[in-house]
Structure formats: C-alpha cells, structure tokens
Amino acid sequence: MSEPAPVIEMRNVVKRFGDFTAIHDANIDLRPGEIHALVGENGAGKSTLMNVLYGLLPRSGGEVLLRGEPVDYGSPNEAIAAGIGMVPQHFKLANSFTVAENIILGSEPTRGFNRLDRRRAAEETAEISRRFGLEVQPGDVVGDLAVGLRQQVEILKTLYRKAEVLIFDEPTAVLTPQETRELFNTMRNLAAAGNTIVFITHKLGEVLAVSDRISVMKQGRIVATLDNRDVTAQQIAALMVGRSVILRVDKAPPSELGAPLLRIRDLCARGERGEVAVDNLSLDVRAGEIVGLAGVQGNGQDELVECIAGLRRRASGDIEICGKPTGRTPGDNRDLGLAYVPADRAHVGLSLESGLWENLSIGHLESFRWGPFMRTGAARKRAGELIERFDVRGGEIDKFAGSLSGGNQQKVQIARELTRPAPLIIAEQPSQGVDIGAIESIHRILVEMRDAGRAVFVISADLDEIFSISDRILVIYRGRIVADLAAEDTDQEEVGRYMGGLEDRPRDGASPERTAHVG
C-alpha cells in the first residue's frame, strides 16, 4: 500500500543569521495522521526549523509545500490560517481567565452589536473538548488548573483555530509521568482523527513510546528519517552525537554514608507574592550520597534552593552546611563549603557581559592570588583548560559569556562549580540545554564526587535525570517533602503520583521531630 501524500514538505530549507547558517538544506515531509518526532542535540536546529514552518522566522532558501503547493508564511497568523498550529513549551495563558476565554482569545464569537457571545464560546469549547477526548471545563479558571490541564487548554486553543498540523515543542518538560501518558493519548487521538503531529523533544524514551517516524537533526541538517519500528534509543543518540552514548550512568551503590553536609529543619519561606512557598520542610543530604529532588515546577523547589544558597531570606527554620549555620550572603555559604549550579544561569550563574576567563575564575580566586594582586595569566590559562575539558564550543577565553548558546553557558558554570573543592554540591537543573554527550559527562562527574565522599543534591524537572544518578529521591509538593524513597525501590510512576499530589504517605525520617504530609 502506497504512503499518503505529505501534508507538508520542506525542501532544501536554509536559515541564516548573518554569517551563521543555522539550517543547511533540510528536507522533511509530514504525513497526515502521523506523529513525527524531531530530535537532536540542543542547538541542532529543531526549533529553528519548525519556527520557519510556523512563520516565526523567514527562511533564507529552499521551499515549503502545503499539499503540494508552495507557501511562504510571513507570520504565525498566516500559518494558523493555513491550518498549522504550535503548542508552546511555556504556556501563553491568562491565569485569571476561564478556559473558554483563553481558548477563544483573538477569535471570539460575537452576537448583535459585535458583543462577545459567552454562551456560544462555552458551547464551542465544550464541544471541541469532547470531540478530542480532553477533560477541561469551559468555566474553570486556568490559574486553578493542574499543569497537565493547562497544557490541554493550549492544545484546544490550537484546535479551535482548525489546525490540522500541530507542532509540540518539548511538551512534557513540566508534566508528571501520569500527565505525560495522558498527553500521549491525546496525541494519538489527534493523529487518529487525521491530524499531523510534530513532536520536538530530547527524551528518547518518549520518542520511541509515541512516534511513528523520527527525523534526527545534527548541526542544522536532517541526517536521518527512521521508522520507529526499526530503531533503538542508542542508535538515535549515536546519530545525534556522532558516537556511542551511555544513556544512563553506570554507578555502584553508595558506600557507607558520612555526616549530613546539608541539614534543614522546619524551613518556611515565602514566594514573590507573599504566599507560603516552603512549608515546614526538613531534609538531610549526607556525605557519599546523591539525593534527587523531584517535583512539578512551582512547588517550592526554587525558593528552597535560594534559601540554601543565601539568595532568599527564610521566614523561619534552620539550615546547616557542613555542620555550621548558613550565613547571610551567597559568599558566606560558599565559604562554608557550598558549590552551586543555579537553574537561572543568565541572572544568577554567570555575568553575561564578562569574559569566559572571568566567569570561570569566580569562586577560584584564592588559587590566583599573589599577595594583594591577581595572577591573571594563571587564571586565563586555567580557563582555557576548563573550556577544552568541558567542550565549551566557541569558547575563546575573552569571549563574553552572553555570546554563547544556552547549552554552552551551562557548560561554563558546570565547569566552574564542579571543579571547586566543595564538600556540598547543589546542582539545579544541571543538564538543561546541554547535549546528550555532555549530559553523560556531567552525570559521571557528579557520581565521581559522590564516590569521593561529597554530598550531592540534584534538583531537576527531568525524572530521567533524577533516576539516572540519584541514590535517594525526595518529592516536593506544595512546599513540603511528601516522599523519601530509595531510588532502587521506586519507579517513575510512583514518584509521579507524589508529584501530582495523588499519594499521601509519610516520608521516612529526614526529620526526627516532624513528619510531612500533603497539605
């Protein structure tokens, strides 16, 4: 049986930014009723290619065909009118609006005197929700919805505008495993109804779970398009990176644990709007272990880490680093023995308008002092060595950090912090933005630090990362630790239930005085 004619064909597409070519002669076809995964390292060109298709970026060469006819969209509005929609990774919703109001925004049904027809809006929202098996209620306020339901609202916004090709950009980044499974069911239902799905992701297990075909990008080129039935995750990773990659770090069980190098008791902290963000939280991280903190974003993990690092004042409670109470400033806590890789590299981790050698020297200044002076030659030499060791691409030592890609900026702060002789390492989203080969290297370094007797606390939204390196997994929900689990005795399904507040079980003994429950 012959394959159906493509809905979309992108032929020899080129995209340049000045002298830099981001997309080189890319060819891809998208068929009706298929889920087509687009994978590649960060910076490979996946999002850029789809932004060209969606009208966000003009192409520099090549052509795009819609049902065999050449098209050239000058804006997303033109792409949407042609039946192409994008479900963004970061939701673009008005939290104070209802589901129906968000879905119709910009395409409102009207009645006499051009007034908004709220009844019709609710009816159309309910009808499209039923048709595609989604669960949202038109009158619910979006800000009150769980993350998975907010994503359904984004999908319905696209379907309401009659999109037949839907581009999902890293859609599972903020979902629990249960919500991810529901999303995959939605994607399959959409494909069964004849829609075409483009699934941009870096999670190879998810690619194999849901896609029909897989296109692999490397350095701006489509290097292969494969049928899902004929490929493994290791083969996809090798195409992305150009070599064999270990997808899960090999580590022995931890040896005998030492004293707690991070000790928190009854910590309370408030968020930016004065709300309770961390609620009587207690935990320990001991020398010789890696503890992973899992949770849906927005459940207090940011405020928790900022309190530990000295970036946020706590309302109450106690924090000790290496047996001593934390100080008032980040510098005080670094002096106690803390190395910290923040999630916000642009505003916290790096000085984007400073050279790489300066960024790499911060935290190592004692190594380059000569009386009241700094040995800049030695600092610059050390920076060059770190740039080479951590494969910071385009990383000349005088180049501003802000000129690098996000993934290479991450490598800079990883290189600086993970080479400090600090007993306690806090790594917040350590692999965000970096390629698979670099993730393998970062995880191996963290395990080596654990084996050297340091305490490692990893905060990540990626459960694959949490399970890859953690000895013990804590789950945070609404500012409290609701589970304390041995990594070898649990799975992503159980952790996901805690992340979504679906379990209410006391965690085991991080605090002898208090047991936390879901509140």
- What is the overall mean pLDDT for the chain? 87
Name the class of domain 8-241: alpha beta
The rounded percent of the chain whose pLDDT value lies above 70 is: 94
Report which secondary-structure segment, H or E, holds 401.
none
Enter the tokens of residue 251: 């580590």
Average pLDDT value for residue range 402-426:
88
- Answer yes or no: are the C-beta atoms of 292 and 469 closer than 8 Å: yes
The torsion angles phi and psi of 414, rounded to 5 degrees, stand at: -60, -45
Helices 492-499 and 177-192: crossing angle in degrees, nearest 10, is 100
519: pLDDT strictly greater than 50: no
Sign of CA dihedral 442, 447, 453, 454: positive
pLDDT at 309: 94
- Answer yes or no: are the C-beta atoms of 336 and 325 closer than 8 Å: no
> What is the Cα–Cα distance from 518 to 314, expressed in whole angstroms?
21
> What is the Cα–Cα distance from 151 to 92, expressed in whole angstroms?
10
Confidence of residue 512 (pLDDT cuts 50, 70, 90): very low
**Numbered ranges of CATH 3.40.50.300 in the chain:** 8-241, 248-337+422-519
Type of residue at 489? D
294: pLDDT strictly greater than 90: yes
Confidence of residue 518 (pLDDT cuts 50, 70, 90): very low
Average pLDDT value for residue range 480-501:
92
> What is the Cα–Cα distance from 470 to 368, expressed in whole angstroms?
34
Type of residue at 445? I
378: pLDDT strictly greater than 80: yes
16: pLDDT strictly greater than 60: yes
In this structure, the strands spanning 213-218 and 35-40 are parallel
> What is the Cα–Cα distance from 500 to 175, expressed in whole angstroms?
9
Average pLDDT value for residue range 64-82:
93
pLDDT at 103: 87
509: pLDDT strictly greater than 70: no
The rounded percent of the chain whose pLDDT value lies above 90 is: 50
3-state secondary structure of 169: strand
Cα distances from 17 to residues 48, 59, 124, 233, in angstroms, run 11, 10, 42, 32
- Answer yes or no: are the C-beta atoms of 257 and 288 closer than 8 Å: yes
Dump pLDDT digits (tens) for 420-474. 889 999 999 888 777 777 788 889 889 999 999 999 999 998 888 899 999 999 9
Enter the tokens of residue 117: 């027809």
3-state secondary structure of 245: coil
Running DSSP on this structure, what letter comes out for residue 2? P
Report which secondary-structure segment, H or E, holds 384.
helix 376-389
Dump pLDDT digits (tens) for 118-139. 788 888 888 888 888 787 888 8
Name the class of domain 248-337+422-519: alpha beta
The residue whose two tokens read 């995209």 is 15
Q: Higher-confidence residue: 328 or 107?
A: 328
Confidence of residue 36 (pLDDT cuts 50, 70, 90): very high
The end-to-end CA distance of the chain, in Å, is: 56
Runs of H (alpha helix) within 161-200: 177-192
> What is the Cα–Cα distance from 96 to 105, expressed in whole angstroms?
13
> What is the Cα–Cα distance from 120 to 109, expressed in whole angstroms?
7
pLDDT at 276: 93
pLDDT at 515: 32
DSSP labels for 304-369? HHHHHHTSS--SEEEEEETTEE--SSHHHHHHHTEEEE-S-IIIII--TTSBHHHHHHTT-GGGGE
Type of residue at 477? Y
Distance of CA 120 to the CA centre of its chain: 37
Q: Higher-confidence residue: 244 or 311?
A: 311
> What is the Cα–Cα distance from 337 to 332, expressed in whole angstroms?
9
Burial environment of residue 499 by CB neighbours within 10 A (0 to 12, 13 to 18, 19 or more): buried
Average pLDDT value for residue range 406-413:
85
- Answer yes or no: are the C-beta atoms of 386 and 360 closer than 8 Å: yes
> What is the Cα–Cα distance from 34 to 188, expressed in whole angstroms?
9
Dump pLDDT digits (tens) for 150-188. 888 989 888 888 899 999 988 887 778 888 888 899 999
Cα distances from 454 to residues 99, 183, 355, 430, 451, in angstroms, run 48, 39, 30, 17, 7
> What is the Cα–Cα distance from 10 to 32, expressed in whole angstroms?
15
> What is the Cα–Cα distance from 518 to 476, expressed in whole angstroms?
9
Confidence of residue 245 (pLDDT cuts 50, 70, 90): low
Q: How many CB atoms lie within 10 A of CB 97?
A: 16
- Answer yes or no: are the C-beta atoms of 475 and 487 closer than 8 Å: no
pLDDT at 247: 62
Sign of CA dihedral 105, 98, 50, 70: negative
pLDDT at 198: 96
Find all residues with CB under 8 Å of 113, minimum gap 6, and list them: none
DSSP labels for 253-304? PP-S---EEEEEEEEEEE-TTS-EEEEEEEEEEETT-EEEEE--TTSSHHHH
Enter the tokens of residue 250: 């090999």
Pick from 5-9, 227-231, 295-299 the range whose average pLDDT is largest: 5-9
284: pLDDT strictly greater than 90: yes
508: pLDDT strictly greater than 60: no
